[in-house]
Structure formats: structure tokens, C-alpha cells
Amino acid sequence: MKESPATDLRVTLIQSDLRWHDPQSNKAMYAEKIAAIAGETDVIVLPEMFTSGFTTEIDGLDALGAPTTEWMKAQAKLSGAAITGSTVFEVNGGHANRMLFVTPTGDVQHYDKTHLFRMAGEHERYVAGNTRVVVHYHGWNILLTVCYDLRFPVFCRNKQDYDLLLCVANWPAARRAPWRTLLQARAIENLAYTAGVNRIGLDGKGLEYSGDSMLVDFKGDALIDHPRDTEFTETHTISLAKLANFRDKFQAWRDADRFEMQL
């Protein structure tokens, strides 16, 4: 079914603590938060590995993929909004850190994290994706990225193929300054809205997460930005018409360097 174009998109960021390796508790927590905003938003963004916390301890998490997909389908239908976030998937004898984008009609698209965080051994336990994914929803083109991807401007380069960059993350508090800076930099250099959702709290290995989830406009101005370490659910309406008007007036995209990217 073809969707009719829209100029506005209501984007909701949900920042929260995660229960370590406890999919049922995490799903129950998010279901409650999502139910509270049913019918009031178009896209709901959850963090990276929102069912377990970021982990390389894959044993016991193999079955997360299919059940989590079905749960997201149900939540999207009940809320009337697309829901996105990542979880562990078993793929081709290995595992992927897979970001799902699930619509209220049950359409499921996915992106497998391309840049694996070697400092935590992610590259030893997961298979890297090799495809850059832009989804089309409510007239918007949306680039999907996961955590460490945000550090790579070539991968995130806007080839005039997206309007909104989504980044789901478990980004430790020790590197909160790069997280915040990179979200704004990606928005400015790509003339696109950028939304990043991070978790808070301590994980099972004692790592601290500060959140700092943000929605940034195409000029780098924060539209959603809360103090660190707080749980929140917030929605902001972004405008495709305003974006198009700015791109028309400030045509930096016309002077972008030409190159080819190899994954």
C-alpha cells in the first residue's frame, strides 16, 4: 500500500535504563512507555540492543530476533507509529546487530550494523553489515545507523537520498562529548535532521551510560536535548518543507566532493 506524502513527521525519543540480558522486562517497560503515547507520534526511536543492553555474550540471545520482530509489529500496530531499535539476530551461522524499522501496517525493514566496535570485541562476535539502508516512510527518506556508525562521515554522507538520520546507541558516558558533537556534526554537514537515542544507567559489566539523546535540526540546533542520566519520552514535529526551504537557500550540497564508497 503506497503511503501519501506528508511534510511533517512527529518523532519520539525514548531514553531509559535497560535491564541486563532481560528481554521480557525491557519489552514490558517499553510497552508501557509506548502505550502512553499511542496515536500521538509517527516514529518511535528506541536504543541499540534495547532488549538486552549492548553485549557480546551472545549465548542465550540467539532467539531474540524473531520474537522481538513480532513484539515490534504489535507495538507499532497498537501505537499507530513506526518503531525502530536494534537487537541480536542470528544470520548465516553468525550474529548481527540488526536495526529494525517496523511500521503499523507490519512492514519490516532492517539494517545490520556496518562498523563494529572493535574496542569492545564486537567485530569478533558479530558479522558486519555491508549495505547502507534508507527507508521511505510518510514521505520522508530515513537513513538507519547504529552507534559506532556515527563516527564515520563517509558512511553517513548524504547523497541527496535522506532527510533524517536515525542513530540508535549504547554509547558510554566516558565518551559523551563525541556523541553529542557527532550528532550535531552529521546534521550540519548533511543538511538533514539527526536523531540519536542512547540508554542511561549501568550495564552488566559496570559501564555507565549518560543518555544525552538528541534530536537536531539541519543547522545543528537541538530540538530535543535533556540533562544527562534522566529517563524521558519526548516528541517533536519536524518539517520537510522547512528542510527543503533551507536546502534551497543554502546549497552547500551542490559543492560536495564526489567519491565512491566501498563497503
* Residues designated catalytic: 48, 113, 147
Residues in the chain: 263
DSSP3 helix / strand / coil % (the chain, rounded to 5):
30, 30, 40
Distance CA 47, CA 140 (A): 21
Q: What is the residue whose three cell numbers read 544507567?
A: 201
Which three-class secondary structure state does DSSP give residue 187? helix
Which helix (H) or strand (E) element contains residue 244? helix 240-249
Q: Are 119 and 70 in contact (CB under 8 A)?
A: no
Which three-class secondary structure state does DSSP give residue 220? coil
Distance CA 18, CA 64 (A): 15
